[in-house]
Amino acid sequence: MHVRQTLTLVLGGAASGKSAFAETLVMATGKPRVYLATAQAFDDEMRAKVDRHRDQRGPDWTTLEAPHDVAPALSGLHTDQVCLLDCATMWLSNRMLAEDDLATAQDKFLAALAGCAAELVVVSNEVGQGIVPDNALARRFRDAQGRLNIALAARSDRVIQVVAGLPLILKGAPL
Amino acid sequence: MHVRQTLTLVLGGAASGKSAFAETLVMATGKPRVYLATAQAFDDEMRAKVDRHRDQRGPDWTTLEAPHDVAPALSGLHTDQVCLLDCATMWLSNRMLAEDDLATAQDKFLAALAGCAAELVVVSNEVGQGIVPDNALARRFRDAQGRLNIALAARSDRVIQVVAGLPLILKGAPL
Amino acid sequence: MHVRQTLTLVLGGAASGKSAFAETLVMATGKPRVYLATAQAFDDEMRAKVDRHRDQRGPDWTTLEAPHDVAPALSGLHTDQVCLLDCATMWLSNRMLAEDDLATAQDKFLAALAGCAAELVVVSNEVGQGIVPDNALARRFRDAQGRLNIALAARSDRVIQVVAGLPLILKGAPL
């Protein structure tokens, strides 16, 4: 069995610079890098965002797509690689839209992370600091995202919150 | 007159792990513990949440309910006890739904905390970091919650923000 | 040419106490103070808020209004002054309602800040930590606000997040 690699959680609000910050963490490792995309581009707005992010990353990434099940992609990685999973929020949203049981889905997701041989950086959204949403689905998503973030943070070696592009260390060693 | 006990404010978003964290603070005191519940279970979603929280706490708590006026419950506590008030946001929401004047209600709430002989841990929500809500009632609640959090923080010996279950000290001694 | 003065960014949610905190920073400089207001009072709710803030500040401020173009006001300031720009979020909202190109508007805004001879304290909102808004305009605003905050933070000597009236230093020297 492999020695478990470092797991880093990068949390932030929408447009907080969390993905760009996570990419700098990945690049600083100097290891061959894998981008594990969870987004599904349903519409033009989303596709434009996905394309813009890919352009910003540049060509030195192997891109894998796993909107629903991250296990096959993660289990194929090697100990000398580093993987950026961007992001847990899109994955969770995809599972909710697929009407999956979210507690079971979370267990599988966490197991897939634990079974990955590569160093991991996982990006996730903070969605619970606004006013209570009107519709029940949004409230259910908010609670599921909160539970997932808590579970990810508990398993992470380092947790960093990004605010306006600036890092705030919530857990683990200083940068 | 009693010497004023420590007041701790635990702030966090929805599903941030703030209540669970506040419970660990309360349990660490080693004192007999009181849970002061402000929630009113109007519907099944809310009742399920209340029941789940009670199950998580376990039996070693005296539970008091005070959705509208916390003064009678707080004034009955003793200096050897520790009380978890969970949470200021539900209390404020109840007062708004009752069409109370919120500035007056806040003054009474703060006076009740100041008059309590027991050590206090108060949980409250951060609700102002999303987009501006469409409806005026939600904006009014957001402003009232912000003012209440500022007033509570000013009176607290320690203020802790919980993000993904992890504490960030905003005021007072390190953990 | 003047030596560039200090730029401080004060970030916070709605009703977080960010404006009051920014005012204490400005007053601590001991310099003649200018309040650069970006708000437009379209309705009674907004006018009441503007008036309340003005009353809280007191008379020892020169107030300038610049809801759309901050450059003329900023370029007229002197090196011995300190200016509180309150806030970048209202300015951005005004530009969006005017259907301006937001990337171009941001460039002009940042250039105006860079060209200002006075010490600057800029207040801005965190709006990206709630659930994804239903309407596209709100999502577009949220993204534009995020990009503006990242750009402001990168150019600032000090960035402070205010939570419940309490400061958290994200960048620069301790208080």
Is the pLDDT at B144 greater than 60? The verdict is: yes
Two tokens at C139? 């999502």
* Chain mean position to CA C77: 16
Interface probe with A: pick from B160, B166, B175, most Cβ of A within 10 Å = B166
Question: Which amino acid is located at B150 in the chain?
Answer: I
Tell me the pLDDT band of B52, cut-offs 50, 70 and 90. confident
Q: How many domains does chain C have?
A: 1
Q: Three-state secondary structure along chain B?
A: CCCCCCEEEEEECCCCCHHHHHHHHHHHCCCCEEEEECCCCCCHHHHHHHHHHHHHHCCCCEEEECCCCCHHHHHCCCCCCEEEEECHHHHHHHHHHCCCCHHHHHHHHHHHHHCCCCEEEEEEECCCCCCCCCCHHHHHHHHHHHHHHHHHHHHCCEEEEEECCEEEEEECCCC
Does any CB of chain B come closer than 8 Å to the CB of residue C38? no
Tell me the pLDDT band of C4, cut-offs 50, 70 and 90. low
Portion 2-31 of C in contact with A at CB < 8 A: 9, 11, 13
Host H or E run for residue C148:
helix C136-155
Two tokens at A4? 């478990």
Backbone angles phi, psi at A33, to 5 degrees: -115, 140
Per-residue pLDDT of chain A (175 residues; tens, 9 = 90+): 455 689 999 999 999 999 999 999 999 999 999 999 999 877 888 888 888 878 878 889 999 999 999 999 999 999 999 999 999 999 999 999 999 999 999 999 999 999 999 999 999 999 999 999 988 999 999 999 999 999 999 999 999 999 999 999 999 998 8
Beta bridge partners of A167: A162
Tell me the pLDDT band of B46, cut-offs 50, 70 and 90. confident
DSSP track, A119-166: EEEEEEE---SSSPPSSHHHHHHHHHHHHHHHHHHHH-SEEEEEETTE
Max intra-chain CA distance, chain C = 48
Beta strands in chain C (DSSP E): 7-12, 33-37, 62-65, 82-86, 119-125, 158-163, 166-171
Spatial separation of the C-alpha atoms in residues B12 and B120, rounded to whole Å: 17
Contact by Cβ (8 Å): B174, C42: no
**Structural domain contains residue C1:** no
Tell me the pLDDT band of C41, cut-offs 50, 70 and 90. confident
* pLDDT at B49 (0 to 100): 80
Q: Which residue of C has its CA nearest to A21?
A: C150
Instruction: Provide the b/e sequence for C14-40 (b: ≥16 CB within 10 Å).
Output: bbbbbbebbbebbbeeebebbbbbbbb
* pLDDT at C3 (0 to 100): 55
Does any CB of chain C come closer than 8 Å to the CB of residue A146? no
Is the pLDDT at B64 greater than 50? The verdict is: yes
User: Residue A28, exposed/middle/buried by CB under 10 A (0-12, 13-18, 19+)?
Assistant: exposed
Query: What's the complex ipTM?
Result: 0.93
* pLDDT at A84 (0 to 100): 98
Spatial separation of the C-alpha atoms in residues C157 and A3, rounded to whole Å: 42
Contacts of C170 in chain B (CB under 8 A): none
Question: Which amino acid is located at C153 in the chain?
Answer: A
* pLDDT at C1 (0 to 100): 45
Domain with B72 in it: 30-171
**Structural domain contains residue C131:** yes
* pLDDT at A52 (0 to 100): 83
Residue A151: count of CB within 10 angstroms of its CB? 18
- Residue whose tokens read 């309705």: C43
Is the pLDDT at C2 greater than 80? The verdict is: no
What are C123-162's pLDDT values in tens digits?
999 999 999 998 899 999 999 999 999 999 999 999 999 9
CATH number at residue A140: 3.40.50.300
Helix C88-97, helix C102-114: angle, nearest 10:
140
**Structural domain contains residue A41:** yes
**Structural domain contains residue B160:** yes
Contact by Cβ (8 Å): B95, B105: yes
Q: Which residue of C has its CA nearest to B168?
A: C168
* pLDDT at A54 (0 to 100): 81
* pLDDT at B4 (0 to 100): 67
* Inter-chain CB pairs, A–B, below 8 Å: 71
**Structural domain contains residue A134:** yes
Assess whether C2 carries a catalytic annotation: no
Taking residues C50-68, what's their average pLDDT?
87
Is the pLDDT at B38 greater than 60? The verdict is: yes
What are B84-136's pLDDT values in tens digits?
999 999 999 999 999 999 999 999 999 999 999 999 999 999 999 999 998 89
* pLDDT at B1 (0 to 100): 45
* pLDDT at A107 (0 to 100): 98
* pLDDT at A4 (0 to 100): 67
Portion 69-128 of B in contact with C at CB < 8 A: 126-128
Spatial separation of the C-alpha atoms in residues A134 and A138, rounded to whole Å: 8
From C9, C130, C153, residue closest to A129, measured CB to CB: C130
**Structural domain contains residue B15:** no
Helix, strand, coil % (nearest 5) of chain C?
40, 20, 35
From A127, A138, A163, residue closest to C170, measured CB to CB: A163
Question: Which amino acid is located at C123 in the chain?
Answer: V
Q: Which residue of B has its CA nearest to A172?
A: B166
Could you tell me how many residues make up chain B? 175
Alpha helices in A14-66 (DSSP H): 18-28, 44-57
**Structural domain contains residue A154:** yes
Is C163 in Cβ contact with B161 (below 8 Å)?
yes
Contacts of B23 in chain A (CB under 8 A): none
Two tokens at C130? 């709630």
Does any CB of chain A come closer than 8 Å to the CB of residue C166? no
Taking residues B42-46, what's their average pLDDT?
81
* pLDDT at C58 (0 to 100): 82
Is the pLDDT at B25 greater than 80? The verdict is: yes
Spatial separation of the C-alpha atoms in residues C84 and C120, rounded to whole Å: 6
Mention every residue, 6+ apart, whose C-beta is less than 8 A from residue A115.
Answer: A71, A74, A75
What are C112-121's pLDDT values in tens digits?
999 999 999 9
**Structural domain contains residue A156:** yes
Spatial separation of the C-alpha atoms in residues C130 and B18, rounded to whole Å: 17
Which chains sit next to A, with 3 or more Cβ pairs under 8 A? Answer: B, C
Residue A172 assigned to a binding site: no
Nearest CA-CA partner of A57 in A92, A86, A94: A86
Q: Which residue has the higher pLDDT, A162 or C39?
A: A162
Spatial separation of the C-alpha atoms in residues C23 and C39, rounded to whole Å: 16
Is the pLDDT at B20 greater than 70? The verdict is: yes
Q: Which residue has the higher pLDDT, B162 or B46?
A: B162
Beta strands in C38-116 (DSSP E): 62-65, 82-86
Taking residues C22-45, what's their average pLDDT?
92
Taking residues C5-15, what's their average pLDDT?
96
